[in-house]
């Protein structure tokens, strides 16, 4: 099964696990399965109208899914999916 790595601030919503295994064939299905398993996570990843929040980056192995087929990007057993909130700012 593909595995989703959970960043430190979101682990409190997934029972403190560093990673969660999901049953899915695409990125979109993987994220859906993740929030189905851990409903508290939903509002931290999605806006009220159901869009992935702009600062949430989703990577399949080392690639940004925005530059692949986005939510339709295929995933397979052994793939590593990372959720990475952005790190930015300025004075």
Where do contacts with Zn ion occur on this chain (CB under 5 A)? 89, 91
42 touching another protein, by CB under 8 A: no
CB environment 33-60: b (16+ within 10 A), e (fewer) = bbbeebeebeeebeeeeeebeeebbbbb
15 touching another protein, by CB under 8 A: no
How far is Cα 52 from Cα 84, in angstroms, rounded to an integer? 12
37 touching another protein, by CB under 8 A: no
17 touching another protein, by CB under 8 A: no
Q: Residue from 23, 64, 72, 74 that binds another protein (CB under 8 A)?
A: 64
How many CA atoms within 13 Å lie on the side-chain side of 68?
Answer: 18
Q: Which residues bind another protein (CB under 8 A)?
A: 5, 7-9, 12, 18, 43-44, 53, 55, 57, 59, 62, 64, 82, 84-91
């Amino acid at each position: 099964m593909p595995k989703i790595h959970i960043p430190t601030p979101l682990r409190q919503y997934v029972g403190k696990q560093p990673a969660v295994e999901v049953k899915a064939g695409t990125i979109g299905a993987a994220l859906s399965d993740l929030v189905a398993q851990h409903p508290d996570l939903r509002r931290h990843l999605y806006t009220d109208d159901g869009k992935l929040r702009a600062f949430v980056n989703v990577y399949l192995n080392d690639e940004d899914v925005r530059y692949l087929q986005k939510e339709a990007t295929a995933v397979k057993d052994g793939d590593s999916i990372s959720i990475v909130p952005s790190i930015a700012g300025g004075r």
